[in-house]
Amino acid sequence: MDKEKNSVLIVDDQKTTIMVLKNILGNEYRVFATDNSQTALKTAEKFKPDVILLDILMNDIDGYAVLAELRNSEITKDIPVIFITSLNDVEDEEKGLSLGAADYITKPFSPEIVRLRIQNQIRMLNQLQTSNELSMLDQLTQLPNRRSFETRINTEWAVAQREKKPISILLIDLDKFKSYNDTYGHLQGDATLKTTANLFKKTLKRPGDFAARWGGEEFIVLLSNTDSNGALEIAEQIRKSAEDMEIPFTDTQNLKITISIGVNTYNHEQTALSINDFFAGADKALYDAKDAGRNKVCFYSGAG
């Protein structure tokens, strides 16, 4: 159950204060602590807490300097920091907030105030996380959307280049989908897109395989550490599964649809390639599959 809890890091040079705060927060959160401001950044980067409680008056580096370090780190720059301090002048609070602190609690503190201030930050954090997740999801198919795919391919592309491993992409289009929509209606078209999305969830088994809705009736699959033979094998499995798929229409009738797939692989033995060129190759292969009569898998050879 601890893995499901939000987490709090306490940075305070008074061990008694750390003990009190642990008692206040320990039942509700995972609590980490350090009494040394010099190790605060390393501790925050290691545990990546959801909220940091930070004292200003420390024995070595003051809390303002610690906050500046936290804000300069890519790992910790967005973690909300609550100053908890014996400094109670308005100017001190204004300084802390102007430097980017999320909140300010003065000592001696009320346990309930600490709980409520932490809860407020956690609530805002969870709402933001939910909003970000929704913005990366296609609402119809519940697959990642184009924005999510673009984020993922940038990450995987960098890994593939660094480790010199092959990477493959499948660009997938439902055949004659406009006619299908015109014949059976848009509600049935939406149902078909959802059924197709479920097909990817069943076919792609490896943790690194990533499928997304590219837009309209197009889907896209990213296969990390996968050479051309592996990509063609997976593409054919997807094509055959789509061909065999039955899509409910009425109580007595199911419908069929086929897909065309363009495949491209980059193995780093080739000339340097951009992500846009990588995608363009898959797009060209998809057009070749369409020209070949649809319900086909075609591989981009680099020619033409």
Residue 68 to residue 78: CA distance in whole angstroms: 12
For tokens 């848009």, the residue is: 186
Residue in 91, 94, 217, 269 annotated catalytic: 217
Q: Please check whether residue 234 is in contact with residue 200, taking contact to mean a CB–CB distance below 8 angstroms.
A: no
Closest CA to 25 of 146, 88, 114: 114
* Encoded amino acid at 123, one letter: R
Q: How many helices (H) and strands (E) does the chain have?
A: 10, 12
Q: Residues 54, 57, 59, CA angle at the centre, nearest 5°? A: 105
CA angle 232, 229, 237 (to 5 degrees): 35
Stated length of the chain? 304
Tokens of 48: 């990546």
d(CA 187, CA 247): 12
The amino acid occupying position 80 is P
Residue 46: both structure tokens together: 């290691």
Owner of token pair 């956690």:
122
> In angstroms, rounded to a whole number, what is the distance separating the alpha carbons of residues 92 and 250?
69
Can you tell me which residue has the tokens 């609590």? 31
* Whether residue 218 lies in the annotated active site: no
Considering only CA atoms, give the Rg of the chain: 26
Residue with tokens 């100053």: 83
Q: Tell me, letter by letter, the H, E, C secondary structure of 188-209.
A: HHHHHHHHHHHHHHHHCCCCCE
Catalytic positions: 217
